Amino acid sequence: MESLFPSLSGSITKLTSFAFFLLFLLSCSTFTSTEAYDALDPTGNITIKWDVISWTPDGYVAVVTIYNFQQYRHIQAPGWTLGWTWAKKEVIWSMMGSQTTEQGDCSKFKGNIPHCCKKDPTVVDLLPGTPYNQQIANCCKGGVINSWAQDPANAASSFQVSVGQAGTTNKTVRVPKNFTLRAPGPGYTCGPAKIVKPTKFASADKRRITQAMMTWNVTCTYSQFLAQKTPTCCVSLSSFYNETIVNCPTCACGCQNHTADPESCVDPNSPHLASAVTSSSKSSSAPLVQCTSHMCPIRVHWHVKLNYKEYWRVKITITNFNYRMNYTQWNLVVQHPNFDNLTQLFSFYYKSLTPYEGLNDTAMLWGVKFYNDLLSQAGPLGNVQSELLFRKDASTFTFEKGWAFPRRVYFNGDNCVMPPPDAYPWLPNASSRPVISLLCPVITILASLVFLWANA
């Protein structure tokens, strides 16, 4: 083949390398993507499973479970909100472990009044401390769901719903439509409900298996682009070998402009700080950030601290500039080629993420419960820090060309804006600037894998 058609295979090779190059460029320059696909968590999704556990004279009782199958994106207070549209004239007679936010118009009913008569109910979790007779397993956590990597035991949330004026067999039931999930803000897109094999439940002693009458699944995926128009986090860099501190890019998350919007940010030394923070002139969920050149609610600082013979040490500091947010169960995802040889980590938890087999360059870091799992609102307590000790691999380790700095950083699942590679601190004796940025080899490998897979 090759010898017969050298020019053909040559042009195919050229095409392939061109495709690689394109992917390389794309993966290195595009930070916000409109697609829900996340290279570091390719199968990440939230699945909502409805198990019909019994039929009733006019409908069914279902247990609905929201599974957060995302490695590092959690749902923090004030929690999830789930909505859907009924296919016919269904009503909700009662709920356990959750409630609808509005009852709607139930004026047609006498005697027994439904919990909700709306065509498009909106459901929220109940709060912790709900009376036991209104609870079911996995409910009542105020809508907070942890991420799969951080705490799989707390990565699901359930409620029970008793539906009336509905189908009463698996032939006549119509699945609800148009699911919406807010967690707590926008960002998720849900697909249609798909009827799947009925779930099987094992009894506590595992000696008997029961099964649902009918099951359907809804899958929702996240897109940072849908969640917010501007980034929420940026990265700054420094090193022991160069006194320059490379700040977050100016205007990374917005520009400071007191003329246009005097409330866009607050000065930490301002005497009006306290009143600005508590003022309700803006929606209380909108961030109120400290005035900085980057205007980001979160800054992640990576400092290359020490160089030993066989090891090197990095200090990571996460700073909260948002006066309106305490980040609970925060997490950080960092991509750096030396994560395959992380030797020691202080005061954070760590889990290696391996989205692709054989690639071990991505780590998820999060706080220790009751110690630093809460990143407090902007102010003297609004930061957490840790040090990482890496073992050098003689064949790859270098302080040159910005190798010691992270390739990508995510805070709570959202991509942080990095300084441009040519601004990274240099080694004092670096004679010339790097011509080609060597920052993306790993991303290129990822891109190639995706490319190969797409062509397989």
Ligand X SMILES: *[C@@H]1O[C@H](CO)[C@@H](O)[C@H](O)[C@H]1NC(C)=O
Instruction: Point out which residues bind ligand X (CB under 6 A).
Output: 43, 45, 47, 49, 67, 69, 85, 170, 178, 180, 195-196, 214, 217, 219, 242, 244, 246, 255, 257, 259-260, 324-326, 340-342, 352, 354, 360, 376-377, 391, 393, 423, 425-426, 428
Smaller CB separation from ligand X, 24 or 98:
98
How many CB atoms are located within 10 Å of the residue 73 CB? 28
- Euclidean distance between CA atoms 259 and 280, whole angstroms: 20
Nearest CA to 290 among 252, 256, 318?
256
Q: In the complex with ligand X, which residue's Cβ is closer, 33 or 242?
A: 242
Smallest Cα–Cα separation from 142: which of 123, 157, 125? 125
In the bound state with ligand X, the residue whose beta carbon lies nearer, of 282 and 391, is 391
CB nearer to ligand X: pick between 24 and 426: 426
CB of 360 to ligand X, least distance (A): 4
Classify each residue of 228-248 as buried b or exposed e, where b means 16 or more C-beta atoms within 10 Å of its C-beta: eeebbbbbbbbbeebeeebbb
Of 163, 161, 170, 160, the closest CA to residue 213 belongs to: 170
Radius of gyration of the chain (CA): 26
Q: Which tokens go with 86?
A: 């009924």
| N residues, the chain | 456
- Residue 2 or 357 with smaller CB distance to ligand X: 357
Q: Which is nearer to ligand X, 34 or 43 (CB)?
A: 43
| Distance (Å, whole) CA 265 – CA 276 | 9
> What is the C-alpha end-to-end distance of the chain, expressed in Å?
19
Least distance to ligand X from the beta carbon of 45, Å? 4
SS3 state at 315: strand
**Min. distance of Cβ 213 from ligand X in angstroms?**
8
Q: CB-wise, 315 or 392, nearer to ligand X?
A: 392
In the complex, what is the shortest distance from the CB of residue 21 to ligand X, in angstroms, rounded to a whole number? 28
By CB atoms closer than 10 A (0-12, 13-18, 19+), residue 432 is exposed
Nearest approach, Cβ of 178 to ligand X (angstroms)? 4
Smallest gap from residue 367 Cβ to ligand X (A): 14
CB of 391 to ligand X, least distance (A): 5
CA distance 264 to 148: 35
**Of the two residues 133 and 259, which places its CB atom closer to ligand X in the complex?**
259
Q: Cβ 309 to ligand X, closest distance in Å?
A: 12
Listing DSSP states for 330-399 in one string gives: -EEEEE-GGGGGEEEE-SEEEEEE-SSTT---EEEEEEPTTTTSEEPSSSTT-EEEEEEEEE--TTT--S
Smallest gap from Cβ 440 to ligand X, in A, equals 19
The residue with its CB nearest to ligand X is 260
Judged by CB, which is closer to ligand X: 316, or 342? 342
The token duo for 336 is 């750096």
